[in-house]
Amino acid sequence: MNKKIISAFVLMAGASVCLLTHLFHIPAVQAAEGEGKLVYIIPVEKEVERGLEAFLQRTTQEAAEENADHIVFEIDTPGGRVDAAGQIAEMLQNVEIPTTAFITNEALSAGSYIALNTDNIYMKPQATMGASGVINSDGTAADKKAQSAWIASMKSAATSKDRDPLYAEAMANPAIDLPEYGAPEGEFLTLGPTMAVEVGYAEAVVNHRTELLAKLGLQGAELVETETTLAEEIARFLTNPVVVPILLSLASIGLIVELYSPGFGIPGSIGLLSLVLFFYGHIVAGLAGYEAIILLVLGIIMIIVELFVPGGIIGLLGIGAVVGALFMSSADMGHMAMSIGIALIVSIIVSVILFKTIGLEKGFFKNIILKDATTTEQGYVSSINRLDLIGLEGKSLTMLRPSGTAVFNDERLDVVTEGAFVEKDSPVKIVKTEGSRIVVRQIKNHLTQEDEK
């Protein structure tokens, strides 16, 4: 009798579990599906720039090496650089591991482009994606050529993952009229989670990561949460388009101020540190190689040599080498040219201010600029001014036209008249001396006396 009661109890308990699982959708099977699998969680946060690209390259490669079964990109970014987004998109298209974009807050501009290049998109209830118009670094709209290329990239990203390209185009092209989705003509499309699911851009709306993993059949999988290293964080900051011109300006200002300062001190240290930080960030981000560093060092050496060797050619080559190293470290030539231009303008302004306030009497310039003068007060004269000759009378040895030679008290002198021509053997008188210039005048009265004789 007791065995029957126990068996009946076990059957009732099993039936209850099955009923509860069916009513409340307890994902018992899904948990089993995720066991033994490896999922990489990679954050895509802050601005999209080349530092983020380097981080994503490293983490996706690490996921591939560890044979991960899935990669989840948790996206919360306002967008950023188009070139960096393009490189990230190319990387995502080549990843053989299934990828999912989990938009936790916003995926705007370049962020939406990154999301469109993943296999699946899930969104939190408050998340948004879109508003992907391409603009220049100064905030103005990009030219038509750049806009056309960006729109084509957005459409291609959507098409590559079997999504309707119309909505991707509307995110980047305000000419597309979609008033039913809150984007009438003249405005960029921004999708909320409900609309994203409706148009097929998002698979579902989820509240948290656990729910997302359940939707993907990865509940119970081993999670590897990646983080940016300190070096990568520094690189992301240093390669920011706003920070680059600031670093170059600080470098130029520090080195210029150092020329007006005695010895080598704080200004020069700040200048060198700014230059080192610029190249450090770009090397960590994978933008600069050691060939750029070698070119920079050679340029600096040539500039230093120019300070001690006359000519100017070595200095020009040195400046060209430094500028070349900067361009070699940049993925955007236009932005680098603008950054160098800003640093140059700032340098000129600082140089003018320092020259007017300090002059060239202090710092490095005092060692290379000759300030000594050979004045008359110190006994230095370019030629002797023989005032003792004034009033002496003599005779011209040659014809004075108006210069020539005359003799005074048996001393031959080079003389010049006041302008008139004087015949040879004519009596003359010294009327003025100006250094080596001796001015004479013909003695006409004496000529008259001679004629009378």
What are the pLDDT digits (tens) for 399-412?
A: 999 999 999 988 99
DSSP sequence for 219-267:
TT-EEEE----HHHHHHHHHTSTTHHHHHHHHHHHHHHHHHTSSSS-HH
Collapsing DSSP states into helix, strand and coil, what is residue 205? strand
Residues 395 and 425 sit within 8 Å (Cβ to Cβ)? yes
pLDDT value, residue 29: 43
pLDDT value, residue 192: 93
Q: Report the CATH fold assignment for 35-228.
A: 2-enoyl-CoA Hydratase; Chain A, domain 1 (3.90.226)
Q: Smallest Cα–Cα separation from 74: which of 46, 33, 54?
A: 46
Residue with tokens 């704080």: 266
Indicate the range of 11-25, 230-244, 246-260, 315-329 predicted with least confidence.
11-25
pLDDT higher than threshold 50 for residue 34: yes
Counting other chains too, the contacts that 410-413 makes at CB distance below 8 Å and 24 or more residues apart are: 413/389, 413/438
The structure's pTM equals: 0.61
Distance, CA of 405 to CA of 400 (rounded, Å): 7
The CATH architecture assigned to 387-442 reads: Beta Barrel (2.40)
pLDDT value, residue 333: 75
Q: Which residues contact 371 (CB under 8 A, 6 or more apart)?
A: 361
pLDDT higher than threshold 90 for residue 6: no
Cβ-in-10-Å burial (0-12, 13-18, 19+) of 15 comes to: exposed
* H-only helix segments in 260-286: 266-284
pLDDT value, residue 431: 92
pLDDT higher than threshold 90 for residue 341: no
pLDDT value, residue 236: 77
Q: Are β-strands 411-417 and 403-408 bridged in parallel, bridged antiparallel, or unpaired?
A: antiparallel
DSSP sequence for 158-185:
HHHTT--HHHHHHHH-TTS-BGGGTB-T
Q: Where are the domains of the chain?
A: 35-228, 240-367, 387-442
DSSP state of 26: -
Q: Smallest Cα–Cα separation from 439: which of 450, 430, 427?
A: 430
pLDDT higher than threshold 60 for residue 11: no
Residues 193 and 125 sit within 8 Å (Cβ to Cβ)? yes
Q: pLDDT digit string (tens) for 258-294? A: 776 655 667 778 888 888 888 888 877 767 777 888 8
pLDDT value, residue 387: 83
Distance, CA of 258 to CA of 267 (rounded, Å): 5
Q: Which residues contact 282 (CB under 8 A, 6 or more apart)?
A: 50, 235, 238, 239, 288, 292, 329, 330
Residues 204 and 197 sit within 8 Å (Cβ to Cβ)? yes
DSSP state of 389: G
Indicate the range of 136-145, 244-253, 434-443 predicted with least confidence.
136-145
pLDDT value, residue 310: 67
pLDDT value, residue 51: 81
DSSP run (H or E) holding 153: helix 144-160
Distance, CA of 189 to CA of 164 (rounded, Å): 14
Indicate the range of 147-161, 187-201, 222-236 predicted with least confidence.
222-236
Give residue 100's region: left, alpha or beta (phi > 0; psi -120 to 50). beta
Collapsing DSSP states into helix, strand and coil, what is residue 365? helix
Indicate the range of 73-77, 338-342, 374-378 predicted with least confidence.
374-378
**Exposure class string for 372-382: b at 16+ Cβ within 10 A, else e:** eeeeeeeeeee
| pLDDT, mean over the chain | 81
